[in-house]
Amino acid sequence: MRVAITGSSGLIGSALTRSLLADGHEVVRLTRGQTNTSGVTLDGSETAHWDPIAGTLQPGALVGVDAVVHLAGAGVGEKRWNDAYKREIRDSRVLGTRTIATAIAALDTKPRVLVSGSAVGYYGDTGDLVVDESVPAGGDFLARLCVEWEAAAKPAVDAGVRVAHPRTGLVVSAKGGAWGRLLPLFRLGVGGTLGSGRQYWPCISLDDQIAALRFVIDRDDVAGPLNFTGPEPLTNRDVTRAVGRILRRPTLAPVPEFALRLVVGEFADSITASCRAVPAALLAAGFTFRHPTVEQAVAAAL
């Protein structure tokens, strides 16, 4: 199988690349570096150039691929939110997805599937409501972004390509992402609840994230939105206690919402929002989680 991946240098993309290569598949990394001709990297993957904002893709980059996994986008929590950075977050996802979907639609021989990323931010703050894929979108910035992000894949859908949207939660890994920043604090004994701690945090282990992506690639009957979250969501307070038990560290340093807002600005609303998301579509399709609980996910990450 030949798979093209955007965002291949990120936490999820790099792990997916390693997994595919280890099983003998071919990987084409779509990078923003100035690559004029396809080259082979040290790990055996190929590279091709694309520019998501300009809407350009190296000629022939997607020819012969069986699947495209689109994960690229500016990090939501990497910088303090302001109007300029929110525009960068939005454009990197919406314009990038439109570029990939349009390029796929123009191919004579199209890939079997486009797996185009999304996030559980689609639902907004849903409190204690159990959230499956049938729940409508919320109304905050991230929810509106996810609606546009998913809709940007329409050219591929219209061209008859199977399109799946993994609405990913918080990926538990010590190597990056939000958890990569939180775990060192817990190890130092200064971890604690964020905001009230009553908000549900939809988490998924990195192993399950990669296994679920490969499951979706392989299964011709799986399409549309899919919650990529563990089947047993917990509140931030319960997650915090679980991490403390595993690391045998105190978790007595809560971070009030006003302090979060001082550090990350408007993004604090997303950190303290509640989303009790469950992976109903994945489970219905027969996917089995390796780490169904947050404690198992954290133990695997450590």
**What proportion of the chain, given as a percentage, has pLDDT over 70?**
98
pLDDT of residue 36 exceeding 50: no
Residue 252 has a pLDDT of 83
What's the CA gap between 300 and 210, in Å, rounded?
14
**Count of alpha carbons within 13 angstroms of residue 14, beta-carbon side:** 7
19 Cβ contact partners less than 8 Å away, ≥ 6 residues apart: 210, 214
Report pLDDT digits (tens) over 250-277.
888 888 888 778 777 788 888 899 999 9
Task: Give, to the nearest 10 degrees, the angle between helix 141-151 and helix 83-105.
Answer: 20
Report pLDDT digits (tens) over 147-156.
999 999 999 9
Domain limits at 82? 2-238+244-301
Please state the domain count of the chain.
Answer: 1
What's the CA gap between 135 and 216, in Å, rounded?
21
Q: Residue 196 phi/psi, 5° resolution?
A: -70, -25
Report pLDDT digits (tens) over 92-115.
999 999 999 999 999 999 999 999
Which CATH number do you get for residue 84?
Answer: 3.40.50.720
Closest CA to 32 of 6, 5, 50, 17: 50
What's the CA gap between 33 and 29, in Å, rounded?
11
Report pLDDT digits (tens) over 194-233.
999 999 999 999 999 999 999 999 999 999 999 999 999 9
One-character DSSP codes across 256-282: -HHHHHHHHGGGHHHHS---EE--HHH
Strands 46-51 and 113-116: unpaired
Compute the C-alpha angle 39/88/168, nearest 5°: 75
Report pLDDT digits (tens) over 49-79.
999 999 999 999 999 999 999 999 998 888 8
- Answer yes or no: are the C-beta atoms of 264 and 80 closer than 8 Å: yes
pLDDT of residue 10 exceeding 90: yes
**Count of alpha carbons within 13 angstroms of residue 90, beta-carbon side:** 14
pTM of the model: 0.94
What's the CA gap between 195 and 180, in Å, rounded?
19
Residue 39 has a pLDDT of 66
